Amino acid sequence: MTACALDVRNITRRFATTTAVNDVSFEVCTGELLALVGASGSGKTTTLRIVAGYEPADSGVVMLNERDITRLPPQRRNFGMVFQHYALFPHLSVEDNVGFGLEARGVSRRDRRTRARNALAAVGLDGAGPRPIQSLSGGEQQRVALARALVIEPPVLLLDEPLSNLDPQLRQSTRDELRAMLRRQRVTALFVTHDQEDAFAIADRVALLSRGRLLQIGSPEELYDTPSCRTVAEFVGRATLIPAIERGEDTAAIIVGGVERVVRVVRPDGVRGPLLAVLRPEALGFVPSGWADAWPGVVHSRRFAGSSYHYRVRLDGGLEVEVALGERSADEGDRVAVRVVREPIPVVATGNGD
């Protein structure tokens, strides 16, 4: 069994009448990348600040390698931190920025230079030490911030929205590089993001928070394919949620415009009706008109997404669904028939679950 590097147990944090973090528990295994995801105000940043020691917990425990660090100040926790705005020093060179934390720890200048250069090489900036910070691109500055955090050899790396300041194209390439670098260095990392694409691209597991509560933790595939509740289903990916009628342990009927389609379903443990079927775009397809269990409708809009076409279809009766196909199959205004083409379909309870 992989050892647990970071163990957060039942932490709660209140501000006046607001509970920002409500009885949250999770573990980060050695070498694992765990993402805390949620909308603004979900409690993810407060949770990270409690772990880092910048925010006290009203209750609960933070354990690092089986040692209670709940009351330790940040400087004694020895975490590496990568902040949203990187917090680099503009008057220092790249190498001196990376070695700053080592200087504060009393490391000799000679050893600082060697370790800083090794850290820069590890993040793909070999030879960039003498350059001024202002000469670097946003992606390069992000890597300097990462090197500065890694050079102190922290037991856990904490990242707070590390990609939010990058433009979309640079963001995609940087997150791929970030995961590769963390994997290569076998770093244990906990990072916060509001962007599920960033979380899914980087993390081994994702923890989704809403209104201070941890709703579900698991692999990206688990959150997408088997959401624990309605809030998770709506936050992760794209989906249309439609009432479903239980037909058995693993089947349910979806009725749209008087047309019934019985499908195999997967549900969270213990959940019974009333249910909502979570229809992902790739679970739907177009079929020839006249199929007994297909839903007729009109293509409302079409969007080309590079590897796929996404259609918004207004079904007879007014409900809209999204259909994702690998080829162009219809145009705006076309009459189509929509059918579930991939099963099982996730179902969740009608309540929010948070």
Non-local CB neighbours of 44 within 8 Å, separated by 6+ positions: 36, 37, 38, 192, 194, 209
Task: Delimit the domains of the chain by residue range.
Answer: 4-225, 236-349
Q: Is 3 helix (H, G, I), strand (E, B) or coil?
A: coil
CATH superfamily to which 236-349 belongs: Nucleic acid-binding proteins (2.40.50.140)
Average the pLDDT over 308-330 and give the result.
95
Question: What pLDDT score does 162 carry?
Answer: 80
pLDDT in tens, 225-256: 999 999 999 999 999 999 999 998 899 999 99
Question: What pLDDT score does 354 carry?
Answer: 66
Element (H, E) at 120: helix 109-122
Question: What pLDDT score does 153 carry?
Answer: 86
Question: What pLDDT score does 2 carry?
Answer: 63
The whole-angstrom separation of Cα 163 and Cα 193 is 8
How would residue 180 be classed by pLDDT, with cut points 50, 70 and 90? confident
For 285, list phi and psi in degrees, rounded to 5. -150, 170
User: What is the pTM for the complete model shown?
Assistant: 0.88
How would residue 327 be classed by pLDDT, with cut points 50, 70 and 90? very high
Question: What pLDDT score does 163 carry?
Answer: 79
Is it the case that residue 85 has pLDDT exceeding 80?
A: no
pLDDT in tens, 250-299: 999 999 999 999 999 999 887 877 899 999 999 999 999 889 899 999 99
Percent with pLDDT over 90 in the chain: 66
Asked if residue 274 has a cis previous peptide bond (ω within 30° of 0), the answer is yes
271 versus 315: the higher-pLDDT residue is 315
Is it the case that residue 1 has pLDDT exceeding 60?
A: no
CB atoms under 10 Å from CB of 115, counted, come to 19
Question: What pLDDT score does 239 carry?
Answer: 95
Average the pLDDT over 72-95 and give the result.
88
pLDDT in tens, 39-53: 999 999 999 999 999
Question: What pLDDT score does 145 carry?
Answer: 87
The whole-angstrom separation of Cα 27 and Cα 159 is 16
For 18, list phi and psi in degrees, rounded to 5. -105, 130
Q: What is the CATH number of domain 4-225?
A: 3.40.50.300
Question: What pLDDT score does 5 carry?
Answer: 93
Question: What pLDDT score does 183 carry?
Answer: 86
Question: What pLDDT score does 246 carry?
Answer: 92
The whole-angstrom separation of Cα 321 and Cα 277 is 12
Average the pLDDT over 69-78 and give the result.
93
CA-based nearest residue to 136, from 170, 179, 91, 94: 94
Task: Identify the weakest region by mean pLDDT among 50-54, 179-183, 188-192.
Answer: 179-183
CB atoms under 10 Å from CB of 136, counted, come to 17
28 versus 317: the higher-pLDDT residue is 28
